[in-house]
Every structure is written in C-alpha cells, then in structure tokens.
Amino acid sequence: MKEDIYLSVVIPAYNEMEGIADTLVDISRYLFSQNYVSEIIVVNDGSKDNTSEVVKKLQGTIHNLKFIDNKKNQGKGSAVKQGILAAQGRYRLYVDADNAISIDHIDKFWPYLKEGYDIVIGSIEIKGAVKKEKYAGYRKILGKLSKYLIRILTIWKIHDTQRAFKLFPAEVAEKVFSQQTIMRWGFDIEILVIANNMGYKIKEMPVVWINPSGGRVTLMSYINTLIELIIIKINLLSGKYKKSL
C-alpha cells in the first residue's frame, strides 16, 4: 500500500551546480530522520550549467527525489509554482537551492499550523532572526527601503515577504498558487498578497539566514521588483485576485 506523502520540499534551481548537491544531501538527511513520508522536488529553471546532470545523478541515491527539468528559463516564481502544484504532500515548503535557511527550522513552524495559522513564513526582519551576508552597501540601503515600500503597498504586518522558506498546507497552497501571475522577483510578494486577500492567517517566524556569497540580487533586480510590486497593487485594487475559490 502506497504511503501518503506528508511533506513536499520544493527547490527552484538556476545555475546551482556548485552547491545543490550539498543542499540536497542536507535536506535528505534531515527528512530521513523524521517519522513521516516526504519528497523533494527540484525544478530546474533552464540552467546553463550542469545543474541538471548533478540532480539526475543524485536521484539514484536520494530517496523520493523528483526532478522537473525545464530547458527554458521562465523565472524563479514559475519554477516554484510548478513545483508546488506538482507536489503530492499534505504540506508544501519551498526553499532556496543555496540552503541559506536550514531545513530544521521547520520544527518550529509546525506548532503554528496547529494553532490555527494557515501559512508560516521565515523572516530575517523580526526579533530573534539572524542574518549573515556579504553584499555591497547600496544593497543594504535599497533592501531596507524596498521592504518598507512593500509593506506600505501590500501587507504592513509582514516585515519580510521575500524569504524562500514558506510552509503551506496543500489545500491553501493550491488555492493561492493557482492565482499566481508574477513569475520572477516579485512572486513572493504576490503569493502573500493573494493569501491575505483570501483571508488566510500568516505567521512570520524568525530564521537564521546565512548567505556568504551575497546572492544574485542586482540593482536591476530591485527595479524589476518595484515594477512587479506596482502590478501586484493594481491587480489587488482591480479585484483580479479572487477572495475565495
């Protein structure tokens, strides 16, 4: 008899050949120690390096590792949406391929779902969070300004919309992600706006975020996110996002 999958971990990947193996091994080791059935879904977003080959090789050694290999780059948001909607788990979590937030953070997330929250998200902007990153000075300033602008235009009570560590029950995930229209940098914002518009309760939890490489965020990334933020606000005001499904 086939066991039901309890947790699906979705990982979008674009040019991650250098670190994705370590991330998958780390996540797999954690999941193996749990008393529930799980799956890991890697969604390749048209990588130009050997990410695809690395993941395919690991499928032979990592239990329940599934791979969606897109040849064309369509954006991180597209990869996450594809993975979340393809997942079979009762609960669905998406994380970054660089393992900036360790999988064991989820241990502190579960109780809030039992308390009545519909979505639990990781944050580096609330008390108890730890962030370690090397980046240019302008990024620190732009990061702070952009977070305040996002809060003003969308959901003031959420301090950090864009950490990749977000946990959803399957029913909530399917209703929210089916309405997603933003496929690149601003998709995290849109997902939470859609969820909030539908009346779902969102719990923000502090996490330890370690990103020594500084990531791939550029000045153009901020500009593109601003454009997408405006689109999200227009969508919200125009009633494009349904309040229920």
Cβ-based burial of 200 (10 A; exposed 0-12, middle 13-18, buried ≥19): middle
User: Model confidence over 175-232: pLDDT tens digits?
Assistant: 999 999 999 989 999 999 999 999 999 999 999 999 866 556 676 877 888 999 999 9
Cβ-based burial of 9 (10 A; exposed 0-12, middle 13-18, buried ≥19): buried
What are the domain boundaries of the chain? 1-99, 124-162+179-245
Distance CA 81, CA 10 (A): 9
CA distances (Å), origin 198, targets 167, 173, 205? 17, 12, 21
Q: Which CATH architecture has domain 1-99?
A: Alpha-Beta Complex (3.90)
Helix, strand, coil percentages in the chain from 3-state DSSP, rounded to 5: 40, 20, 40
User: Model confidence over 60-80: pLDDT tens digits?
Assistant: 999 999 999 999 999 999 999
Query: Rounded to two decimals, what is the model's pTM?
Result: 0.94
**Is the pLDDT at 136 greater than 70, yes or no?**
no
User: Model confidence over 5-36: pLDDT tens digits?
Assistant: 999 999 999 999 999 999 999 999 999 999 99
